[in-house]
Chain A
Amino acid sequence: MRTMMISRRTMLAGTAATATVLAAPAIHAAEPKVLRYLGTAVNEGDDISKKCLADTGIKIEYVTATTDDVTKRVITQPNSFDVLDTEYFSLKKLIPSGKIQALDARKIKEFNNITPVFTKGELPSGKKIGGQGTAPWKVLYLEGAKSTKFSATPTEFVTLIPTVYNADTLGIRPDLIKRPITSWAELLNPEFKGKAAILNIPSIGIMDAAMVVEATGRYKYADKGNMTKPEIDLTMKVMTEAKKAGQFRAFWKDFNESVNLMASGETVIQSMWSPAVTKVRSQGVPCVFQPLKEGYRSWASGFCVSKGATGAKLDWAYEFVNWFLSGWAGAYLNRQGYYSAVLSTAKANMAAYEWAYWMEGKPAAQDIKGPDGGLLEKAGATRDGGSYEDRMGNVACWNAVMDENDYMVRKWNEFIAA
């Protein structure tokens, strides 16, 4: 009896919903399509929101915070955003908290065209890539629509639709170092005493440290992105020794800090992000995003949707994600030196010479311009690290949240105090 009543009520609700859909044009006129987009400043470009408004009529309202604050906000104020732009590694905190909802893969038009880097952990050519850390394919699927458990095998319930990713390495000042740099071990080379820097985000900083420890041959980790307590101790010991010896000039947290340290010559070798290297270069200072033989530390981000987004909001969220993957935004990201999740649509939106430079590692046939039209590289230049295959194919590990995160954070405080 009770169940019957409920189903009757649901049916009534369903009828009401159909009526709403039928009346859609009137409602569209009354209610503007607005999505609140929570993320870091790096991905929140005006160009993208303007183009999105022109193409889909969806107005994007950016809510900007730092990487850590974005996560904090999702946990503490889950109703303050609709779409969330975040990285895969934070899912290990966000999914168990139950603050974001699974997306239906069948509603994402280009889902099957998303690069296999995310879905299978391999390049389009079939080459397997490194999966240490919180690799996207480990946290891409959920067991069910309401589940908070990651599924090891593909399901239709997706946690985060990828949009952008890259392979990170060390940035160097070739004019001040004056010799080839080929290994992560150089970060702790006493030759650069007082002129090195690392990232001051513990979960990422310790990964760079692990790349260095492995490169020096002191230890080989089973998984750099998920260390045991003794491994954390060892890594921090190596870093503490270096810190005490005065190896580091500074630790940086902010994009602009990293640009300034490098451009002013305070540091000559440091962990860095690709667009920061471009920015140093655009100031006329030589700077190289140096490929290293041990490989890259990779990261990937994309869109989640808040649990609070329902009805029309949810439809707009899908529309927005679909628009984002449809090519224009992908080409925009590729021109910034990142990679887009759906390669085919991005390629269709780029000139052949641009694709050859950014993705195939070929010398630029003509001057390379950034998304804002500013000159990035003169004709003849090639991209640091070469092609997509060369860069993404050499990924060694992914940004991660470790099981021993709590212990790691305490050890990081100890490292700072040393």
Chain B
Amino acid sequence: MTRLKLNTVQQRLSAGAISRLQALPMAFVFAFFFILPLVLVVIVSFWDYNEYEMIPAFSGRGYTDTFEGCAAQLPELCTILKTYAKTVKLCAVTWALTLLIGFTVAYFLAFHVKSRMWQITLSLLCTIPFLTSNVIRMIAWIPMLGRNGLVNQGLQATGITHAPVEWLLFSEFSVVLALVHLFSFFMIVPIFNSMMRIERALIEAAYDSGATGWQTLRHVIIPLSKPGIVIGSIFVITIVMGDFITVGVMGGQQIASAGKIIEVRLNALQFPAAAANAVILLTVTLMIIAGLQRLVDIRKEL
């Protein structure tokens, strides 16, 4: 009797409907903890504000203030465009370096390390940068890269330079160094994961057909690692676009970042202006991700 009923239910619901039902709990979580807050941020971004509170009246002030002078100052860039140019630049450099390092490390772990034990151990070693807090890391970089730090002492002792190299710390160099140091891990893991799923027979087949190591890499491994590369890229790009702590600490607070603008606004209790900047940041980041999706259709590849 019950079985009969179930059968009819199944007959009535198409396969698509069942998958949709199964996705429902997760959709709820997303709607409540992601979509709803996001909608609130967008709403607040169109509110007005004074010194100490948000005023729930429609106002585009958060946006117009942000883009103040952008038309008048052309061809010179206004604050917000300058900030985004800097953020996107840091993001691009960090992305390129983490991709190079992440791919190389993942390749080594997946194809050169044979024992599963060692693969796990070495992957865990990659998490070491996360074992210390941001403040500690910042303080630790001073004796390393500072004016009187280890690197400068070494350079001077070996006669390579005669005066301390100043750009090692509190510069774009140190920001990128810290970002790469922190976020290579987010590239390594998904690429490694993709590489582990590559059928080893395919690589052997490539070699058997006379492909060189380079050709195998280009035509077999890289295309098959694409989902990992894209996922890793999304991680790195979204984190770096929104980062203000590492940029602040390593840049001596002298380098602008999109996240920093939001922080300064929040600290001044200008919540709608902060929300407007958050919406702008989200839009820019989504555009970059959309561009990436265009290169690789991740849904098809998975």
Measured CB to CB, the residues of A under 8 A from B are: 68, 71-72, 75, 92-94, 96-97, 194, 197, 200, 202, 243, 248-254, 256-257, 260, 264-266, 401, 405-406, 409-410, 412-414, 416-418
Contact = CB atoms under 8 A, between A and B. Distances in A.
B261 A413 contact: yes
A251 B265 CA distance: 18
A202 B248 CA distance: 14
B204 interface: no
A256 B139 CA distance: 9
11 contacts: A75-B53, A75-B269, A250-B253, A251-B253, A253-B248, A405-B268, A406-B51, A406-B268, A410-B79, A412-B264, A413-B79
Interface of B: 51-53, 65, 68, 79, 82-83, 86, 135, 138-139, 142-143, 146-148, 166, 169-170, 248, 252-256, 260-261, 264-270
Given A71-B269, A266-B146, 15 more contacts: A68-B266, A68-B267, A94-B52, A96-B52, A97-B53, A243-B254, A251-B252, A264-B147, A266-B142, A410-B65, A410-B68, A410-B79, A413-B264, A416-B254, A418-B82
Contacts of B135: 254, 256
A202 B264 contact: yes
A138 B139 CA distance: 40
B52 A75 contact: yes
Nearest to B61: A406
A417 B267 CA distance: 18
B264 A409 contact: yes
B269 A93 contact: yes
Contact of B268 (A194, A197, A202): A202
A414 B166 CA distance: 24
A409 B256 contact: no
The 6 closest A-B pairs by CB, nearest first: A250-B252, A417-B256, A251-B253, A68-B267, A97-B52, A414-B79
A215 B260 CA distance: 30
Contacts of A406: 51, 65, 268, 270
A72 B83 contact: no
B254 A409 contact: no
A94 B248 CA distance: 28
B51 A417 contact: no
Given A264-B143, A413-B79, A417-B79, A249 B252 contact: yes
A243 B254 CA distance: 8
A257 B138 contact: yes
A308 B142 CA distance: 45
Given A200-B253, A249-B170, A260-B139, A72 B267 contact: yes
A406 B265 CA distance: 9
A406 B264 CA distance: 11
Contact of A194 (B53, B166, B266): B166
B83 A409 contact: no
Contacts of A71: 269
Contacts of B264: 202, 409, 412-413, 416
A265 B148 contact: yes
A264 B269 contact: no
Contacts of B83: 413, 417
Contacts of A248: 252, 254
Nearest to A417: B256
A30 B254 CA distance: 54
A416 B269 contact: no
A366 B243 CA distance: 51
A401 B51 contact: yes
B268 A253 contact: no
Nearest to A265: B148
Contacts of B142: 260, 264, 266
Contacts of A260: 139, 142
Nearest to B265: A409
A93 B52 contact: yes
Contacts of B266: 68, 72
A250 B139 contact: no
B254 A250 contact: yes
B79 A96 contact: no
Given A72-B266, A202-B268, A413-B79, A93 B261 contact: no
A416 B253 contact: yes
Contact of B253 (A252, A264, A265, A418): A252
A184 to B, nearest CB: 20
Contacts of B148: 264-265
Contacts of A202: 264, 268
Contacts of B86: 417
A236 B126 CA distance: 43
A257 B170 CA distance: 13
B82 A417 contact: yes
Nearest to B50: A96
A280 to B, nearest CB: 14
A260 B143 CA distance: 10
Interface centre among B51, B52, B86, B256 (most CB of A within 10 A): B52
A414 B79 CA distance: 5
Contacts of A254: 135
Query: Which of B53, B83, B270 lies at the interface centre, i.e. has the most chain A CB atoms within 10 A of its CB?
Result: B53
B269 A96 contact: no
B275 to A, nearest CB: 14
